[in-house]
Amino acid sequence: MRYVEIRRHTDNDGDRLSVDGRAAAEEIGRTGLHAPYDMFVSTGAARANEMVEILRAAAGQVDVPVHTVTSLRSAVEDRWREASKATGGGDLEAMRTVDPNLVEQETAVLSAALRAVVDQLPDGGRALVIGHSPTNEAAVLGLTGALVQPLGKGEGVLIAEDGGTYAVQPLP
């Protein structure tokens, strides 16, 4: 089996974590990690990079490199924002009614990027991925077939892969 914890970054001010966001990331580092990790992954956004560095240090694994996977970050963020605004939130099912092509196309791209992360893990390996919402949820949907509720800041899910079969559950 291989495992991926995928989390949304904590509170931000622009593309940086806010003071509260840094404090929340530090709290996750104290209480919410499932180390050790074989891989740390960021989308490359500054707020995701900051959070992954906080969590990597909290896990005591600063020697494990951070992989930047920009394909886990949407190239059409404005379309996501428009769909979210039109539906009053980040629910993928609602967004499908507003922009079905966006959800379908992005789910395929984002899940392929997430699958590539899983494929790099050794048997029994674990990765920690820091990304964004609703793109995290779209990646999970495409990879597992499971529709997860919009992730709040700092929240995440655990994906377990066993022989090419994927299951998702909330992080404890």
* Pairing label, strands 66-68, 39-42: parallel
Residue 94 pLDDT grade (very low, low, confident, very high; cuts 50, 70, 90): very high
- Give residue 51's pLDDT: 98
In whole angstroms, how far apart are CA 120 and each of 78, 99, 124?
Answer: 30, 32, 12
pTM here is 0.95
Contacts of 63 (CB under 8 A, 6+ apart): none
Q: What is the mean pLDDT of residues 143-154?
A: 95
- Give residue 89's pLDDT: 82
Residue 54 pLDDT grade (very low, low, confident, very high; cuts 50, 70, 90): very high
What are the boundaries of each domain within the chain? 2-150
> pLDDT > 70: what percent of the chain?
100
- Give residue 88's pLDDT: 87
User: Interhelix angle for 19-31 vs 46-58, to 10°?
Assistant: 30
Q: What is the mean pLDDT of residues 33-57?
A: 98
Read off φ and ψ for residue 52, nearest 5 degrees. -65, -35
User: What CATH number is given for 2-150 in this structure?
Assistant: 3.40.50.1240
